[in-house]
Amino acid sequence: MQTPILEVKNLEVSFATYAGTIQAIRGVDFQLFEGETLAIVGESGSGKSVTTKTLLGLNAANATVKKGSQILLGNTNLADYKEKDWDQIRGKKIAMVFQDPMTSLDPTMTIGKQIAEPMEKHLGKKAKEAREAALALMKDVGIPDAEEHIDDYPHQWSGGMRQRAVIAIALAAEPDILIADEPTTALDVTIQAQILNILKAQQKKRKMAVIFITHDLGVVADVADRVAVMYAGKIVEKGTVNEIFYNPKHPYTWGLLSSMPTTSTALGSLHAIPGTPPDLLYPPKGDAFANRNAYALKIDHEKQPPFFQVSPTHEAATWLLDKRAPKVVPPEEIQKRQAYWQEHFVKEG
Amino acid sequence: MARYILKRALILIITMWIVVTATFFLMQILPGTPYNNPKLTQSAIDQLNATYGLDKPVLVQYWDYLINLLHGDLGTSFQYQNQSVSTLIGQRLPISAQLGFQALVVGVLLGLWFGAVSARNQNKKLDGFLGVISTLGISTPSFILAIVLLFVFGYQLDWLPISGWGDSFSQTILPTLALAVTPMAITTRFVRSEMIEVLHSDYIQLARAKGIGEDQVIQKHAYRNSMIPILTLIGPLTAGLLTGSTLVENIFSIPGIGQQFVSSIPTKDYPVIMGTTIVYALMLMVMILITDILTAIVDPRVRLQ
Amino acid sequence: MEASQDFELVGIENVAATEKINKPTLTFWQSVWHRLKKNKLAVISMYFLIAISAFALVSTAVVSQNSANQFNTNAGSKYKNLPPKSGLPIPFWDGNGTVLGSTDKVDVYEKNGVDKNFILGTDNLGRSLGKRVTVGLRISLFVALAATAIDLLFGVSYGLVSGWFGGWIDTVLQRFIEIISAIPTLVVVTLLAMLFGSGIGSIILAIALTNWVGMARQVRNQTLTLKERDFVLAAKTLGESGPKIAFKHLVPNMAGTIIVQVMMTIPSAIMFEAVLSAINLGVKAPTASLGTLISDAQQMLQYYPYQILIPSAILVLVSLAFILLGDGLRDAFDPKMLDE
């Protein structure tokens, strides 16, 4: 197996607030390999955005990364980084595409300058060179008539165009890893596909690894190689995109997939997951999903489940995979997916 | 741009006309006459009325006043016989303008500095200290501060001159300080909250994600964005300074228009009161116009029409 | 090690237990109070203002305006300009001061043969400053509160009308505000005070008529936002009348804004009262207000600084308390700045 370019081990992040300490990330492990796209999926508040902000040291001042957390980029552990160290990482090694293009660009600086800024800093380009490079990059991400618009200010552009500029800024210093934090959520449906295509094309061209944060499983199916499902500050299941979509093991993943509208499969009806995620001021002692889980075992309420290996690439944290657990019948939608899995993936080997 | 300035100038002229008209007719209905001396005989009063044109019908007086105003003539003072109001104000305006300008510059610059420092150290001790200073600053009217400064640095410590104007720069220090504290306090609070909002904005987070260093983030992105709204504050600050300067000039015996305005109230010197009102309003409106134009120049989002 | 019965399928259980640990739900005003309590300065200011107001109220029964105005013409020079004396050996509060023609510090009380202690000293007519300040504070607070009450009524109505009707009404009303704002407040107050003549009523009116602009602006902006909200649209669809919507739906929803604005208007009114007194347009002698006390003592600053510093300090303290409470309320009504 190849060595990962980024490895996160036992990441724990908490936030000090007036009300108490919120344990936003409660032990997250994952690996990222060269050139792949890892999607992190979860509802809002599951900790997916906090995880990626931690990778860039961008959390708010009241956040603490717990001692013993590891974020290994090559031989360095980013979890130990001080504020001044991060400048060698941000933009240059790891860059980020933000969610809302309407508010992510500095309203008082021309777009060309905003794109050129990381180039001057990290690639040592002079102002004129950087401007040329910014222009080329603008064309690359599909901004039409870039020459005429390089000195525009953000307010003169539409959301879709601004998100292209945000992508160009992220690509400017040629990062190895690109984090896309719900890059299409704030956009019109018609624009979403264009932005996804730009991201995919640039990833291929630059051989970047991409961490794609989203709550939209449709987008995941479109872009991801591997998927990690997050719930209440933990990863509950991770595997290849096919393993997660057609052979899911965690009841939360079942719930997510059942609540996803599909046109290709057109199976059954939509199901909402009952209840709300737990308050991470007081994390439950057992499986955080137990109180919304119709398949919860007694032990789920008492003890957090470990990861059970399903295949070399697939693991899930649920007591249902323990050999002592009773056999349960998953929801109808999942049964159909598993049947599809048996037919298309298992037979072929 | 030219069209915008022209349009704004036109609005300014119309507003000025309304101000002049309102003040003129207000003066007509104000109680009392300038000739309170009981020894004045009726014929003497008639003669004075003729001199000042007060015997004509009100509308004619109004028309004359407007025409004279266009020539820069604000009439003749009741108090200082044969002195034209324009001359009186003309002599004193540069003094008041210098004092006001010094106070505005000192106050706003200190406020920008304190506000930015406060925001960058949000909820730390320094922020708390500057918060106390600025809150005390807005709670203390400039004339009370003037009295305290006069007492401490003038009488008790004897460091600085306590009155007068024009002999030395040191005479301007205490009145400038007394006037500068309110704009300083208001600017500090304003800049702090603007900058905290900017520092939490998405575009600052994006700038940080570029890895250009915190200093660059602040200098190239945060300052510019949090300083632009300060321009809108200059108008109200100027208005406050005009109010404060009248009493501060009085306390430090500075021969400015504020002091003259105060002394013309008990003597019912209406031409001076009117003239001062008009000059004040004009100064304030020109100041607001200038800051609006400046905002349009530095803020790309503001479209001129 | 887990026993096998632990693996029994139980599904969703204990929902009640998990709901319990959620934060208790507070009403809007409860949560405002909850957040305000965390701001110690604001709470101290609030209690200080309550105490000051209670003092001002109770003092009406104890110290009358007349008793504070009276002075003994015969024994005037004996009681004149006595420094504050607490009766305790506290520096600057021991009755020691200089008398005219000498630079030595002596106990002025002993020298003049006064056997009473004046805690805050006396003025240049021999009147007790303690009484004068008590009455002055009362008058200043009354003027400020009355002016603010008028502001509240006028400013809120003006803002509601302007925002609710919009169109040409809004344009006209806003132009009027622009014109008013083009004249410095002091000039407007001065002209109005001259127009109305002297007396407490006219000062109140003059201050009120200059201070309402801020309130009107805030209320108009809030009205413009609120009138597009669903609950107002719903009320409109149900055929509720304009005034009913205004008082049932708009005003309660902008209560926070209005209260904060009031907290900022009161100190400004207190200051304007003092300014008017300083230019001889304030309350008429012998009535005392903080403003007249300050302006009367101005000539004496060099020799009897306590006469001016005491009322000045009280004025600043009261203004400070209103502003601190106003800041605290603003954060409590709009908590987004507090987190972190």
Tokens 């936002």 correspond to what residue?
C225
Quick check: B279 and B223 in contact, CB under 8 A?
A: no
When mean pLDDT is compared across A125-139, A313-327, C72-86, C231-245, the lowest value belongs to: C72-86
Residue A46: pLDDT over 60: yes
Give the pLDDT confidence score for residue B305 in this predicted structure: 43
User: Could you tell me which of A232, A229, A317 has the C-alpha nearest to residue A280?
Assistant: A232
User: Could you tell me which of A29, A4, A9, A8 has the C-alpha nearest to residue A236?
Assistant: A29
Interface with chain B: mutation pick from C194, C264, C293, highest number of B CBs within 10 Å: C194
In three-state form (DSSP H/G/I as H, E/B as E, the rest C), the secondary structure along B20-44 is HHHHHHHHHHCCCCCCCCCCCCHHH
Which amino acid is residue A5, in one-letter code?
I
Q: How far apart are CA C92 and CA C98, in angstroms?
A: 12
Distance from CA of A254 to the nearest CA of C (A): 15
User: Could you tell me which of C84, C151, C139 has the C-alpha nearest to residue C304?
Assistant: C84
Per the DSSP assignment, residues forming a β-bridge with A308 are: A316
| Average confidence (pLDDT) over C16-42 | 69
Q: Is C4 on the interface with A (CB under 8 A)?
A: yes
Give the pLDDT confidence score for residue C339 in this predicted structure: 42
Q: Is A349 on the interface with B (CB under 8 A)?
A: no
Q: Is B14 on the interface with C (CB under 8 A)?
A: no
Chains interfacing with A (3 or more CB pairs < 8 Å): B, C
Tokens 């600017």 correspond to what residue?
B187
Structure confidence by residue, pLDDT tens digits, A12-29: 898 888 778 888 888 889
When mean pLDDT is compared across B103-112, C65-74, C292-301, C319-328, the lowest value belongs to: C65-74
Give the pLDDT confidence score for residue B71 in this predicted structure: 80
Per the DSSP assignment, residues forming a β-bridge with A96 are: A179
Q: What percent of chain C has pLDDT over 70?
A: 78
Tokens 């989002």 correspond to what residue?
B301
Give the pLDDT confidence score for residue C4 in this predicted structure: 64
Give the pLDDT confidence score for residue A131 in this predicted structure: 92
Residues of chain B in Cβ contact (below 8 Å) with chain A: 201-203, 205-214, 216, 220-221, 224-225, 228, 298-301
Chains interfacing with B (3 or more CB pairs < 8 Å): A, C
ipTM passes above 0.90: no
Q: What percent of chain A has pLDDT over 70?
A: 96
Q: How far apart are CA B183 and CA B240, in angstroms?
A: 8
The reply to whether residue B211 touches residue A173, judged by beta carbons under 8 angstroms, is: yes
- What dihedral angle (degrees, nearest 10) is formed by the CA atoms of C68, C71, C75, C76? 100
For residue C286, say if its preceding peptide bond is cis, omega within 30 degrees of 0. yes
- When CB atoms are compared, the residue of B207, B212, B225 closest to A107 is B225
- When CB atoms are compared, the residue of A19, A278, A322 closest to C18 is A278
Identify the helix (H) or strand (E) that includes residue C220.
helix C200-226
Residue C310: pLDDT over 70: yes
Q: How far apart are CA A320 and CA A335, in angstroms?
A: 16
Residue C210: pLDDT over 90: no
- When CB atoms are compared, the residue of B141, B266, B277 closest to C187 is B277
pTM for the whole thing? Answer: 0.82
Q: What percent of chain A has pLDDT over 90?
A: 21
Given a cut of 50, the residues of chain B with pLDDT beneath it are: 304-305
Q: How far apart are CA C269 and CA C262, in angstroms?
A: 10
The reply to whether residue A292 touches residue C9, judged by beta carbons under 8 angstroms, is: no
Number of H helices, E strands in chain A: 11, 13
Stronger pLDDT, C22 or C201, i.e. the higher one: C201
| Number of cross-chain residue pairs from A and B with Cβ atoms under 8 Å apart | 81
When mean pLDDT is compared across A216-220, B106-110, C89-93, the lowest value belongs to: C89-93
Interface with chain B: mutation pick from A94, A108, A113, highest number of B CBs within 10 Å: A108
Q: Kindly calculate the radius of gyration of chain B based on its CA atoms and give it in whole angstroms.
A: 24
Quick check: A213 and A207 in contact, CB under 8 A?
A: no
Which amino acid is residue A78, in one-letter code?
L
Handedness of CA A73, A75, A78, A84 (dihedral sign): negative
Q: How far apart are CA B285 and CA A266, in angstroms?
A: 67
Give the pLDDT confidence score for residue A348 in this predicted structure: 54
Q: Furthest-apart CA pair in chain B: how many Å?
A: 86
Give the pLDDT confidence score for residue C75 in this predicted structure: 63
Give the pLDDT confidence score for residue C337 in this predicted structure: 44
The reply to whether residue C10 touches residue A297, judged by beta carbons under 8 angstroms, is: yes
Distance from CA of B192 to the nearest CA of A (A): 17
Contacts of B138 in chain C (CB under 8 A): 323
The reply to whether residue A87 touches residue B212, judged by beta carbons under 8 angstroms, is: yes
Give the pLDDT confidence score for residue B230 in this predicted structure: 86
Phi, psi for residue B303 in degrees, rounded to 5: -100, 130
| Number of cross-chain residue pairs from A and C with Cβ atoms under 8 Å apart | 65
The reply to whether residue B216 touches residue A121, judged by beta carbons under 8 angstroms, is: yes
When mean pLDDT is compared across A121-135, A215-229, C2-16, C228-242, the lowest value belongs to: C2-16
Query: Where residue A87 falls among pLDDT bands split at 50, 70, 90?
Result: confident
State the angle between helix axes of B231-251 and B142-149 in degrees (0 to 180), rounded to the nearest 10.
50
Among C10-24, C34-48, C234-248, which range has the highest average pLDDT?
C34-48
**DSSP H helical segments within C63-128, as ranges?**
65-69, 76-79, 108-112
User: Could you tell me which of C318, C263, C260 has the C-alpha nearest to residue C289?
Assistant: C318
**The two three-digit tokens of residue A335, written as one number:** 């049964």
The reply to whether residue A291 touches residue C15, judged by beta carbons under 8 angstroms, is: yes
The reply to whether residue A90 touches residue B299, judged by beta carbons under 8 angstroms, is: no
Structure confidence by residue, pLDDT tens digits, C123-170: 777 677 777 888 888 888 888 899 899 999 999 999 989 988 888 898
What residue of A is the nearest CA neighbor of C21?
A282
The reply to whether residue A291 touches residue C5, judged by beta carbons under 8 angstroms, is: no
Distance from CA of A84 to the nearest CA of B (A): 7
Q: Is A186 on the interface with B (CB under 8 A)?
A: no
Q: How far apart are CA B91 and CA B109, in angstroms?
A: 29
| Average confidence (pLDDT) over A94-123 | 90
The reply to whether residue B211 touches residue A118, judged by beta carbons under 8 angstroms, is: yes
Residue C241: pLDDT over 90: no
Identify the helix (H) or strand (E) that includes residue B260.
helix B257-264
Q: How far apart are CA B161 and CA C319, in angstroms?
A: 30
Residue C23: pLDDT over 60: no
Q: How far is CA B75 from CA B51, B72, B85, B272, in A?
A: 11, 9, 6, 8
Q: How far apart are CA C139 and CA C286, in angstroms?
A: 12
The reply to whether residue A294 touches residue C11, judged by beta carbons under 8 angstroms, is: yes
| Average confidence (pLDDT) over C2-27 | 61
Exposed e or buried b for every residue in C212-247, given b needs 16+ CB within 10 A? Answer: bbbbbbbbbebbeebbeeeebeebeeeeeeeeebbe
